[in-house]
Amino acid sequence: MKIFTLIVGVWLSLLLTTCTTKPVVSETAVQIVRSPASAPTLAVLATIPASLAPTTIPTVTPPTLPLLTAVPTHTAIPIDTAVVTHSPTATPLPLPTPSPTTTIGFSVSGLPIVSYRFGYGPDVIALVGGIHGGYEWNTILLAYEMIQYFQDRPDLIPPSITLHIIPSANPDGQFLITGHNGRPATDDIPPDMDTLPGRFNANGVDLNRNWDCNWSETAVWRDQTISGGPYPFSEPESQNLRDFLLAQQPLLVVFWHSAANGVFASGCPGAFPPSLQMASLYGQAAGYPVYEHFYHYPVTGDAGDWLATQNIPSFSVELKNHTDTDFLQNLAGTMALFAHYHALFELEQDGEFPPRVPDQ
Q: Name the DSSP class of 232.
A: T
Peptide bond into 269 cis (omega under 30): yes
Q: Are 357 and 341 in contact (CB under 8 A)?
A: no
Indicate if 138 and 276 belong to the same structural domain.
yes
Query: Pairing mode, if any, of strands 161-166 and 123-128?
Result: parallel
Peptide bond into 343 cis (omega under 30): no
pLDDT band at 340 (very low <50, low <70, confident <90, very high): very high
Task: Give the C-alpha separation, 360 to 194, whole Å.
Answer: 42
Indicate if 110 and 81 belong to the same structural domain.
no
pLDDT band at 351 (very low <50, low <70, confident <90, very high): confident
Q: Can you give the C-alpha Rg of the chain in angstroms?
A: 30
Q: What is the pTM of this model?
A: 0.74
Mean pLDDT for the chain overall: 82
Count of structural domains, the chain: 2
Amino acid at 333: G
Q: Are 274 and 314 in contact (CB under 8 A)?
A: no
pLDDT in tens, 32-52: 333 334 333 333 333 434 443
Indicate if 55 and 180 belong to the same structural domain.
no
pLDDT at 311 over 60: yes
- Give Cα separations from 183 to 114, 139, 223 (angstroms): 12, 11, 31
DSSP 293-347: S--SS---S-HHHHHHHTT--EEEEEESSSS---HHHHHHHHHHHHHHHHHHHHH
Task: Give the C-alpha separation, 245 to 242, whole Å.
Answer: 5
Indicate if 49 and 113 belong to the same structural domain.
no
**Percent share of the chain, pLDDT over 90:** 68
Q: Does residue 359 form part of some domain?
A: no
Indicate if 47 and 161 belong to the same structural domain.
no
Average pLDDT value for residue range 8-24? 47
Task: Give the C-alpha separation, 224 to 59, whole Å.
Answer: 108
pLDDT band at 356 (very low <50, low <70, confident <90, very high): low
**Percent share of the chain, pLDDT over 70:** 71
Indicate if 202 and 232 belong to the same structural domain.
yes
The pair phi, psi for residue 122, each rounded to 5°, is: -75, -20
Indicate if 129 and 162 belong to the same structural domain.
yes
pLDDT band at 324 (very low <50, low <70, confident <90, very high): very high
Q: Does residue 34 form part of some domain?
A: no
